[in-house]
Amino acid sequence: MCSFAGGPEDRYPSLHEQQILENQRWHDRRAQRVEAHAQRVAAHLRRHARGNHNPDITQGKRRATWCVELKQRFESLTAAGRFVGRPPSNILQAIYSRNRCGSYHWEYFDPARHVASDGRHGCGEEAVAVHSVA
């Protein structure tokens, strides 16, 4: 009969302890896989992002808008929306439906028609006399 003559640290792990060690290794490998996946997703999103996610950046489609009541020019729908505290899409709807948004009427800016309340064109140019034909 052969007996194992060692201390508790020299003994073989029991089946339960082996299962615990295996579960710990599995969790460690899973954490590594999850971290690697998160890094791959972040890299993918950086590569395929649609820009800087800066709301002030457009693709050259910015059109100036005009507030009829205030006789004020805004550089874009976004600027006008920020002024009244509404989304730019509401300003666009007001332009097309000729309704109000934020208690103001809105139009696309036309330098030939729109003159600011101080006598200047809304875009900051010198005033040009506008005569009505009646």
On whether both 90 and 123 belong to a single domain, the answer is yes
The residue segments making up the domain with residue 82 are: 61-134
Domain count, the chain: 2
In a domain, 28, yes or no: yes
On whether both 89 and 117 belong to a single domain, the answer is yes
On whether both 84 and 21 belong to a single domain, the answer is no
On whether both 28 and 67 belong to a single domain, the answer is no
In a domain, 1, yes or no: no
Give the pLDDT of residue 91. 95
The contacts of residue 122 (CB under 8 Å, 6+ apart) are 64, 66, 71, 72, 73, 109, 111, 114, 115, 116
Distance CA 38, CA 112 (A): 54
pTM (2 decimals)?
0.46
Which amino acid would we find at residue 12?
Y
On whether both 39 and 75 belong to a single domain, the answer is no
pLDDT 10s per residue in the chain (134 long)?
455 555 556 677 788 999 999 999 999 999 999 999 999 999 888 887 765 555 555 566 788 999 999 999 999 999 999 999 999 999 999 999 999 999 999 999 998 888 765 565 554 433 333 333 33
